[in-house]
Chains A and B, each alone.
Chain A
Amino acid sequence: MNLFRSEEHVSRWLDGRPPGATLTVASLCELAHAWWGDRLDPGWRPHTRAQNQALLDSVGLTGEFWKLP
């Protein structure tokens, strides 16, 4: 899960390997705030799979690639 200067850099780094998913850094930041925002809350409770899937859905990360086990 890496940060690159541009999509061109991702393609070169993949060097023929099948790509995963590429997001804008703005989308990544939105995802990170949705996903990690409660991790230090004193009353934190574990997320269910459905809660985590809903967090991904909420920032538009849908489809097979983003389907949690």
Chain B
Amino acid sequence: MDDADVALRNLTYRLFVEYGRAPAVDEVAMVAGLTIHAGIEGWRRLADAHAIVLQDGTTTELRMANPFSAVRTPYRVHAGGRWWWANCAWDAFGICAALHVDGKIVSTCPDCGEVIEVGVSDRRPDDDALVFHCLVNAAHWWDDIVFT
């Protein structure tokens, strides 16, 4: 990833947080001073480098800027005065970590469907009874990142 692509990646993340939603490629390109084509090509290279994830079959729509999700998921996070979607449980805590704030995660247990709410304060969860399960081993996380 060259310096220009790192800058595009960092701008994409900054706009995600500023807007409170996934930015569109034309929005990022405009702020970066790039053509839309150059923005699309940059996002393609970032996706190839696993720095972002694009929606299946598109080159212009974000799916993930981990830990943030551009689409609805079972993991909602309240942090920094806004609600966000996280890609998974790991990313849900990651949103508090990335924003450097306390927060609250709301989800449901995949087994029983009961609502799970857990607060994060000073980098610690407020419910120690919960557990996290990672089904896929690290060597295969990016084989299918949406499933992972």
What is the minimal beta-carbon distance from B58 to any residue of chain A, in angstroms?
A: 23
Known: A13-B111, A25-B128, A40-B17. A1 touches B123 (CB 8 A): no
Name 20 extra pairs, CB < 8 A, besides A17-B135, A29-B120, A66-B138.
A1-B89, A2-B133, A4-B110, A5-B112, A5-B131, A6-B131, A9-B110, A10-B111, A13-B110, A23-B134, A25-B127, A25-B130, A30-B123, A32-B94, A32-B96, A36-B97, A37-B98, A39-B97, A46-B1, A46-B51
B-to-A contact residues, CB < 8 Å: 1, 6, 9-10, 13-14, 17, 49, 51, 66-67, 74-75, 88-100, 105, 107, 109-112, 114, 116, 118, 120, 123-125, 127-140, 142, 148
A-to-B contact residues, CB < 8 Å: 1-7, 9-10, 12-13, 17, 19-33, 35-37, 39-40, 42-46, 56, 64-69
